[in-house]
Amino acid sequence: MVEKNSEPSAQERAGRPFPVSWDQFHRDCRALTWRLNEVGPFHAVIAITRGGLVPAAIVARELGLRVIDTVCVASYDHDKQGDLKVLKGISEQTAKLGGGTGKGLLIVDDLVDTGKTGKLVRELLPDAHFATVYAKPKGRPLVDTFITEVSQDTWIFFPWDTALSFQPPIRDGAA
């Protein structure tokens, strides 16, 4: 919960909501995979947790990849970004597959926003291919492949973070 008089959260600053359904997300992940299929082959998929886990599963399924690792990063507490912490890096076995620099490895995340998370992971694996489903302008230069660009003032709501709820009619003042 956001306390009174506290700084506005990233979500409040963004303002414009962009809700994504499971169907839409699945379609966008498949579209991403069509592009990645032209770039690969890859030795392994690395999901940036937690948001990268869902697209990584779909992309890995479509590319026929079974070696899947994670980089576990904590930054946003719900919608406020704090200092980034790498809670877990990739395994030695995956690092070997990428020759130490990430060559031939595919990093997947759900989105780039400020690009801070992407930058950190790129520093760990400079030669890896970095793919996200959505990209905001600030983070876009860090990404090798993405599907949909949304404006910086947009907040993306993912299906695993949301539930169906009643909406008041537009006439009654709904956004």
Ligand X SMILES: O=P(O)(O)OC[C@H]1O[C@H](OP(=O)(O)OP(=O)(O)O)[C@H](O)[C@@H]1O
Ligand Y SMILES: Nc1nc2[nH]cnc2c(=O)[nH]1
Beta strands in the chain (DSSP E): 16-19, 44-49, 68-77, 80-88, 105-112, 129-135, 148-149, 154-157
- Which one of ligand Y, ligand X, Mg ion, none interacts with residue 156, CB within 5 to 8 A by kind? ligand Y
- Give the x/- contact pattern for Mg ion in 51-70, rule: CB under 5 A: x-------------------
Stretch that binds ligand Y, among 42-50, 119-127, 150-158, 162-170 (CB under 6 A): 150-158
**According to CB under 5 A, which residues from 71 to 110 bind Mg ion?**
none
Cβ neighbors of 124 (< 8 A, separation 6 or more) are 71, 86, 89, 90, 102
113 is a contact residue toward ligand Y (CB under 6 A): yes
Verify whether residue 69 is a known catalytic residue. Answer: no
Interaction between residue 148 and ligand Y (CB under 6 A)? no
Largest Cα–Cα distance of the chain, in whole Å? 59
79 annotated active-site: no
Instruction: Examine residue 118 and tell whether it contacts Mg ion (CB under 5 A).
Output: no
Nearest to 109 by CA among 128, 92, 95: 128
Contact by Cβ (8 Å): 36, 131: yes
Provide the binding-site residues for Mg ion, judged by CB under 5 A. 51
Active site residue ranges: 109-110, 113
Provide the binding-site residues for ligand Y, judged by CB under 6 A. 10, 76, 111, 113, 155-156, 158, 161
